Structures are given as structure tokens and as C-alpha cells.
Structure 1
Amino acid sequence: MSGTRATITDLASRDRREALRIAEAILFASAAPVSTEDLARRLPEGSDVAAVLRDLQAAYAGRGVNLVRVAEAWAFRTAEDLAYLLRHEAVETRKLSRAALETLAIIAYHQPVTRAEIEEIRGVSTSKGSVDVLLETGWIRMRGRRRTPGRPVTYGTTVAFLEHFGLPALSDLPGLEELRGAGLLEGHIPVGFRIPVPGDDDALTEEEEPLDEADLLGYGEALDPEPEAD
């Protein structure tokens, strides 16, 4: 009987090692983060995907690359303490303007948000160019249209945004104290000031409706009745 138990244990151990090897290969070869669901479909039937991911994380914890969660998916990334060694390899093709960065920050924290709402928060007009640049980077997307007169386009961030900034989820964006500690919030902060915490649900809200066919073809901004002031 003990021999039978030992055989079962050995088989389970071999299956676990095989699942680890397969998961490691899939994650290593993938150009984009792999979701838990996709991994489960490709691992041997009955594999404990959560346990496999935990084992891989532990195995790579002290190495030059780590297994990290990116927007509800998983990918190998250079260890944070070694990132400086690779910075000279990066090619900066375009530097975002201050207006584009402010627009990106507002979209990240306040999404879903329209251009008029962005302008209200910034206190100045937002050019169509700033939004277009962010759309080209793939960091923001048109979500839908607000159920208000004029049906303005609403914007939100993408998985590419989370991946670029190393965020597992939108809820991991820095809060008030973190921004203050980093020196990004200086001077007197009004009483009751709060940094909004965006949700990670990609589904449209009750205040949004789906994009039109023309929007999906890339003409959403042309149809957007909001002014294109600088």
C-alpha cells in the first residue's frame, strides 16, 4: 500500500514539474503578457495554475528576470534593481509634451472621461493633438460615448499603459501620500483633496453607450462635437 502511495506521489510530482516547464516556456516565448485563463487552457488538464505561477514566481524571485503580474496577466520582466543596466538600450522615439502627460494622468485617474471633462480638470483647453498622440502610443483608447447631449467620446487607459508603467492594475496607481512623497504634489493641498481610485472594469458604465461604427473605423474624433481648441 505504501508503495502505491509513493507511486502516486511520484506521478503527481512529475506532472507538477512538467506543468512548470510548459508554463515557463509559454511565458518566456510570449511577446505579450499571458492571462491565467489562457495558461490554464494550454497546461495539462487538472494543473493547479495558481500553484504553478506561485512556484515560478518563487523560482525567479532572486534572478535577473522576475515573473510579474501585468494587468491581470503574467510576464517575465527584468528585475527592478537591474533595470538601470538596460536603460541605455532604450530608444526614445517621441517625448510627450507636458500637456499630453497631464492629459494621460487625468485619463488614468478619472476614466471614463471626455475631453471637455479633461479641460475642466486641467483648467485649460486640451488640443486634439495631445489626445491623438496618446492614442498613437496605445496607452489610451476610446471607450464609448457619454449619454449626454452631443454624445462626447469617453477615454480610458489600455493594457499597454499598465504594461509600460509596470502596474498590475489601475488600483495600483500611486495615491495621495505616494505622490506627495515623490515630490509630485507640492505646496498647500486643499482640505478634503482626494486622488480618485479608478476601477479596473473595462465594461461600459451606465453613463456610457457603445461606439458607433464610424468610431470603430477610426473616425471617432472627427465626429466628436467637442471643440478642438489649443
Structure 2
Amino acid sequence: MAGTSATKRHRGSKSRSEDEILYDRELEDLPPELRWREWMLRVEAVIFASAEPVTREMLARVVGKDCSVDLLIDDLREELSSRPYGLVSVAGGWQHRTRVRFGETIRASSAPTRGGAAALSEFEAMVLMSVGYFQPVTRGELSKIFGKEVSRDTIGALRAAGFISSGPRSPTPGAPYTYVTTKHFLSAFSMETLRDLPDIEALEDAGLLSREVVQAELLSAAPDGDEE
């Protein structure tokens, strides 16, 4: 039996190795122009099929080792410039996105769309924004920011939508959970990194946020000790 298992493992390893050999990344049998075109099509196919932003490392698996993924993306963007959708950089990768000016048309059609941001209440959106700016942050600290309790239901709704997840335990007494934003948060709101969040000074000018008040509240926040 042991010998049979070893044989199966050996055959499985051989099969995987053969698959890697059979998949031709380099396309050396093609002239340069056709090779580049095929790489472009491969990259576009992977991005089109993926439900999440596709990273450079993923795309590098389907093109030649000396191929520049960035140059391929540039050529694809140029090719799609006249289309109602294009390639955007979000959450550390690339994704197809419909152009903004067609948003009203898509809404009018009532066609089901994939991805995007889940519908949030105004308060949930404000809590999510605060997590984005002040993460890792506890529920108790968020409650201090808003001057009222941020309920577990609010946190649960943001977690269920995939916008936040648990961060490290807070070093404060009781070691409550902290919360941080996710890659889905970046993708849903078309951001490459958290540096793309709206400038906090603009929010202050609009009267939506006071940095001094928030920082003071965070320093004086007393965690509940039983946060989730």
C-alpha cells in the first residue's frame, strides 16, 4: 500500500511538472509582434475573468519571464481607450471598470453588476471612513469619536460587506479587538492604497471631521474590554 501511495504521489508530481512544461509562457516560436499580442490577450483574459484585482505576480505567470507587465497594461489601456470600460489600478492590482459616464446608463438598465460597494447607511459610511483614517481602531474608540455607541451590529454589517476585518489586539486593558480595512474596501472604492483616501483637510474644511477632536478622543478612549 505504501508503495502504491508513493507511486501516486510521484505520478501527481510528474503531472504537475508536465503541465508547467506544456504551458508555453515564452512563445518563442512566434514572431515578436504576434508574441506581444498573445501576451496582451492573456493578460486581458485573466483580468476579465477575475472577481478581484489581479496582481503583477499573477500576470507574470502567464507571460514570458522578460516581458514587461506594465508595458502590456499600457498597451491594453490604449487599446481600450474608445471602449466604455478600461483597466484601472486598484488594491495593488488591475481590474476592468466601467467608465464613470456610463454609470447612469447601467443604473437605468437595472442589470445586475458584479463587485462594487454594498449599500451603506450614512452612519455606517462614516464609521467606515473613520476606520480607514484611524486604523487599527477599536469599537470603543469609534464610539468616542462619534459621541455615541458604535454597535456590534454596525461593525458586523461592515464586516459582512467585506470592508473591514479584525486587526491586532489593542495593547490597552482588556486587549479589545481593533478593526482595519480590507483589500475589498480599496477595490470597491477604486483606490490603489489608503493614501488615496480623501484629504483629511478637505473633510475638515467641509465640517465633516475634526482631526483635533478625533485625536483627543482616541488618546482618552477607554475600551469596553469585551469588544468583538
Structure 2 length-normalised TM: 0.71
Counterpart residue identity of residue 225, structure 1 = G
Change (3 A) 1:90 1:109: farther
Counterpart residue identity of residue 48, structure 1 = S
Counterpart among 51, 55, 67 of residue 47 in structure 1: 67
Q: CA deviation at 1:176?
A: 3.8
Q: CA deviation at 1:14?
A: 2.4
Tell me the equivalent position of 1:225: 225
Q: How does 1:40-189 map to 2 (within 5 A)?
A: 40-88=60-108, 89=110, 95-176=119-200, 178-179=202-203, 185-186=206-207
Equivalent-residue separation in structure 2 for 1:24 and 1:117 (angstroms): 43
Change (3 A) 1:95 1:150: same
Tell whether the 8 Å contact from 2:89 to 2:95 is kept in structure 1 after alignment: yes
Tell whether the 8 Å contact from 1:115 to 1:226 is kept in structure 2 after alignment: no
Counterpart residue identity of residue 152, structure 1 = P
Tell whether the 8 Å contact from 1:100 to 1:130 is kept in structure 2 after alignment: yes
* Higher Cα radius of gyration: 2
For residues 126-185 of structure 1, the C-alpha deviation after alignment (integer angstroms, 9 at most, x for no partner) is: 11111111111111111121122211111011111112212222111111455478xxx2
Equivalent-residue separation in structure 2 for 1:21 and 1:95 (angstroms): 34
For residues 75-109 of structure 1, the C-alpha deviation after alignment (integer angstroms, 9 at most, x for no partner) is: 111011111111242679x8533332221111011
Equivalent-residue separation in structure 2 for 1:194 and 1:109 (angstroms): 14
Equivalent-residue separation in structure 2 for 1:179 and 1:20 (angstroms): 41
For residues 173-226 of structure 1, the C-alpha deviation after alignment (integer angstroms, 9 at most, x for no partner) is: 111455478xxx249x87x86999xxxxxxxxxxxxxxxxxxxxxxxxxxx834
Change (3 A) 1:28 1:194: farther
Equivalent-residue separation in structure 2 for 1:86 and 1:165 (angstroms): 17
Structure 1 gaps of 5+ residues are 1-7, 197-223
Tell me the equivalent position of 1:17: 37
Equivalent-residue separation in structure 2 for 1:112 and 1:71 (angstroms): 18
Counterpart residue identity of residue 38, structure 2 = E
Change (3 A) 1:129 1:120: same
* SS, match of residue 131 in structure 1: helix
Equivalent-residue separation in structure 1 for 2:191 and 2:213 (angstroms): 21
Q: CA deviation at 1:48?
A: 1.1
Equivalent-residue separation in structure 1 for 2:87 and 2:154 (angstroms): 34
Tell me the equivalent position of 1:205: none
Tell me the equivalent position of 1:26: 46
Equivalent-residue separation in structure 1 for 2:139 and 2:125 (angstroms): 14
Counterpart among 51, 56, 81 of residue 36 in structure 1: 56
Change (3 A) 1:177 1:158: same
Equivalent-residue separation in structure 2 for 1:23 and 1:98 (angstroms): 38
* SS, match of residue 74 in structure 1: strand
- Equivalent pairs counted in the alignment come to 188
> Which stretch shows the higher mean deviation, 152-161 or 55-64?
55-64
Counterpart residue identity of residue 134, structure 1 = L
